[in-house]
Amino acid sequence: MKHEQFIDLVEANPVVAAVKDDAGLEKCIASDIGVVFVLYGDIVSIPGIVSRLNAAGKTVLVHMDLITGLAPKEVSVDFIHAKTSAAGIISTRSNLIEHAASLGMNTVLRYFMIDSIALRNVQRQSESKVQPDIVEILPAILLPEFISKIKAITRVPLMASGLVTTKKEVLNALNAGAVAVSTTDQRLWTA
C-alpha cells in the first residue's frame, strides 16, 4: 500500500484497533475496524495473526517492539516483511522505521511524551531525511494541548494513543489535530 493511501485510510478510519491478545483479535476480526495495530505475538504466531486480520479485510501494522523473539534490528523488519502480509510496522526505534520505509512498508514512529527530552526527540526526528508516515504520541489523554505543538514540529500526520477509554477522549484528540487515535479499548472499536 502506498504511503499516501495508508494515510488516507487512517484518516478515513480515525479509530485504530490496538490488539493485545487473542480475545481482542477475535473481537477485531468481527468489527468494522479498518486499521489494526498488533501489539502481541511472537515469531511463530505473528504470521498467522496478520493473515487472519488480512483475511477479514483489515490493514495491519505490527508493533516491532512488542513481538517476542524479534530483536531491535533491521533483520526483524526483514522477517515481518518476508513472512507476513503486514502493511507496515510501529516502533519507538527510528532505525527500524527507516529500514521499513526502505522496503516500502508503512511506518508509525511512537513517542512516549514523558518529558522535554521526548519533545526534543520529535524535533530531531522531524529534521531527519527519513520520515515515518505517522508520528504516534502517548499518552493521548494527557496530551491534547500538546498535539498542536507537536504538529508544528513534525511534517507528518500525528496520531494520539494510550489510556483512551471514552468517545470524548477520542474526540478531544481528533479536535486537537490528531488524524487518528489507537486504542485497546474494544468498546471504542464500534463507536
Per-residue pLDDT tens digits for 149-189: 788 888 899 999 988 889 999 999 999 899 999 999 999 99
Give the residue extent of every domain in the chain. 3-190
Confidence of residue 143 (pLDDT cuts 50, 70, 90): low
Distance CA 168, CA 16 (A): 15
Buried b (16+ CB within 10 A) or exposed e, 75-97: ebbebbbeebebbbbbbbbbebb
pTM, two decimal places? 0.91
Domain 3-190: CATH architecture, name and number where available:
Alpha-Beta Barrel (3.20)
If one compares 155 and 43, the residue with the highest pLDDT of the two is 43
Distance CA 38, CA 171 (A): 23
- Tell me the pLDDT tens digit for each residue of 1-39: 788 899 999 999 999 999 999 999 999 999 999 999 999
pLDDT value at position 65? 97
pLDDT value at position 122? 77
State which amino acid sits at residue 21: D
Distance CA 165, CA 6 (A): 25
Of these ranges, 18-22, 123-127, 142-146, 164-168, the one predicted with the greatest mean pLDDT is: 18-22
If one compares 167 and 125, the residue with the highest pLDDT of the two is 167
Q: Find the mean pLDDT for residues 93-104.
A: 95
